[in-house]
């Protein structure tokens, strides 16, 4: 009888299940990257219908903002302060400090990894595509660096996503739809401000959104499998958050509650 190859036996070994799952996530990430890859290809090859749409929208919104100084001021505040990537990094850092003290250290690792991966990936892809920012006749704002994908749009998805998926268990169920609505409005809103201020094209923003969703989905999937390996139940992250036990009274009585100074899980549950 033909023996199973050594590499396959290692991947199917229960002690290496996490490695197998990580491989599957990598494959899923590649499949999920197809929409981004298609958009990037159209941008890189300078497909004229897409470029014309980009220029028309950027010029039209920029002209409208220039005629309304009040809106111009408001959009700058939203873009440069409220929805700025560094603001999300600060909020996530504060959240991670609190979660670490509370004992949800697995959740802290996920949040940090997601933010770092998203930031590095966005910065790296800018250097790959080196797309110039919009060159408008009368721009209302300026920004340095390359344009595709939009870092603001990328972090506009990842930042609220990390905060929401981590803290959702602490939000009353009746308020959770509103929390999701705020996160979605934030992501869409920051994309609008970047185009309206003339510092990004629509495709830059869409690319940032898609890339942010890919990163968030991939790291969340890894986290879910991490929970399974720790002996915790499956959860619906969109309804309960990634780690429902942080609310202090998880629905599963066999799961130890997370308290300050604890790890929030025990390896004994796997036996």
Structure tokens at 72: 């111009």
Which of 68, 73, 142, 200 is the catalytic position?
A: 200
Establish how many alpha carbons lie within 13 A of residue 122's alpha carbon, considering only the half-sphere containing its beta carbon. Answer: 31
User: Is 73 a catalytic site residue?
Assistant: no
User: Which residue bears the tokens 């604890």?
Assistant: 262
Q: Which of 168, 270, 262 is nearest to 226 (CA)?
A: 270
- Which residues neighbour 242 within 8 Å (Cβ) at sequence distance 6 or greater? 107, 110, 165, 166, 168, 220, 223, 224, 227, 235
Residues 6+ apart with CB under 8 A from 59: 136, 137
* Pairwise CA distance, residues 170 & 108, whole Å: 16
How far CA 54 is from CA of 51, 190, 196, 226, in Å, comes to: 5, 17, 12, 41
User: Could you tell me the two tokens for 162?
Assistant: 């990390």
Between the CA of residue 17 and those of 7, 179, 221, 228, 239, what are the distances in Å? 13, 34, 14, 10, 26
Alpha helices in the chain (DSSP H): 6-12, 17-32, 34-44, 48-66, 69-77, 85-102, 105-129, 151-167, 176-196, 202-229, 237-240
Q: Which of the following is catalytic: 152, 249, 257, 265? A: 152
152 flagged as catalytic: yes
Catalytic positions, written as ranges: 152, 200
């Amino acid at each position: 009888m033909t023996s199973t190859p050594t590499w396959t036996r290692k991947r199917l070994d229960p002690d290496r299940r996490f490695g197998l799952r990580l491989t599957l996530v990598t494959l899923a990430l590649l499949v999920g990257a197809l929409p981004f890859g298609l958009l990037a290809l159209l941008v890189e090859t300078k497909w004229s219908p897409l470029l014309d749409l980009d220029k028309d929208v950027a010029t039209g919104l920029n002209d409208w903002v220039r005629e309304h100084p009040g809106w111009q001021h408001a959009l700058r505040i939203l873009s440069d302060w409220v929805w700025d990537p560094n603001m999300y990094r600060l909020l996530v850092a504060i959240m991670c400090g609190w979660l670490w003290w509370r004992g949800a250290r697995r959740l802290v690792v996920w949040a940090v990894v997601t933010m770092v991966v998203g930031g590095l990936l966005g910065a790296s892809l800018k250097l790959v595509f080196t797309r110039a920012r919009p060159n408008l006749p009368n721009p209302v704002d300026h920004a340095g660096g390359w344009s595709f994908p939009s870092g603001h749009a990328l972090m506009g998805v990842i930042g609220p996503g990390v905060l929401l998926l981590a803290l959702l268990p602490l939000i009353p169920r009746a308020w959770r739809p509103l929390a999701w609505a705020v996160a979605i409005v934030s992501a869409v809103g920051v994309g609008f401000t970047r185009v309206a201020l003339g510092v990004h094209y629509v495709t830059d923003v869409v690319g940032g959104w898609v890339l942010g969703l890919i990163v968030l989905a991939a790291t969340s999937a890894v986290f879910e499998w991490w929970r399974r390996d720790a002996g915790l139940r499956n959860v619906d992250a969109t309804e309960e958050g990634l780690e429902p036990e942080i609310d202090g009274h998880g629905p599963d009585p066999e799961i130890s509650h997370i308290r300050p100074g604890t790890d929030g899980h025990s390896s004994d549950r796997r036996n």
